[in-house]
Amino acid sequence: MTSLVSSWVRLPVACSPSVYTPHMFTQYFTRFSATQKLATTACCALFLLAACSTPPIAETPLAQRPLASHAGQEVAMFALGLIDTGYRFGGKNPEAGLDCSGMVSYVFAQATGLRLAGSAADIARRGRPVAREQLQPGDLVFFNTRNAPFSHVGVYIGDQRFVHAPSSNGRVRIDRLSSRYYAERFETARNYFE
């Protein structure tokens, strides 16, 4: 049995998936003894039966939002272009530095022409609420970072990541919604396009 298994493990390099052709497999398979062919066929049949007998996993249907809007994608891309821009409290443009709401206001104005002015809390009062599971690039995410509701805002870019201008480290950067700090402080999300 050991020699049978070892002959299966030692496939020639020519049979690697990147250069596999059916002819190569047939050529290699013909070298097997009758016992090896029978064992290989039995294993393949068992794998197929096991795969066919597995019940499908039922997915919970969610009311899906359409794919990210063009404007949302533009906002996300523009925000990414501001990575490493300096932080400045009250800052409204990249040359002078940006704070979180200044970054959002600047990005929306430049990428879409939409005017979102004021503090993070002011911006949060506008827009349509979005469930966390349905975030799309360009949505805004809000946090309670100063023991005050909606005290911080960022631009969601997808894959549980967002661009923001935090006062810590003094630069616009990307963070994850799932990181402990932001997961504990997440409050809501808003969409401004639909």
Which one of 15, 43, 70, 152 is the catalytic residue? 152
What three-state secondary structure class fits 148? coil
Q: How far apart (Å, rounded) are the C-alpha atoms in residues 28 and 10?
A: 11
User: Is 43 in the active site?
Assistant: no
Q: How far apart (Å, rounded) are the C-alpha atoms in residues 76 and 1?
A: 58
Amino acid identity at 45: A
Which one of 15, 43, 52, 100 is the catalytic residue? 100
C-beta neighbour count of 66 within 10 angstroms:
7
User: Is 164 in the active site?
Assistant: yes
Which one of 43, 52, 70, 164 is the catalytic residue? 164
| Residue appearing with tokens 């019940």 | 55
User: Is 152 in the active site?
Assistant: yes
Distances from the Cα of 176 to the Cα of 57, 126, 158, 162, angstroms: 28, 24, 10, 6
| Contact status, residue 167 vs residue 87, Cβ threshold 8 Å | yes
Catalytic residue numbers, as ranges:
100, 152, 164
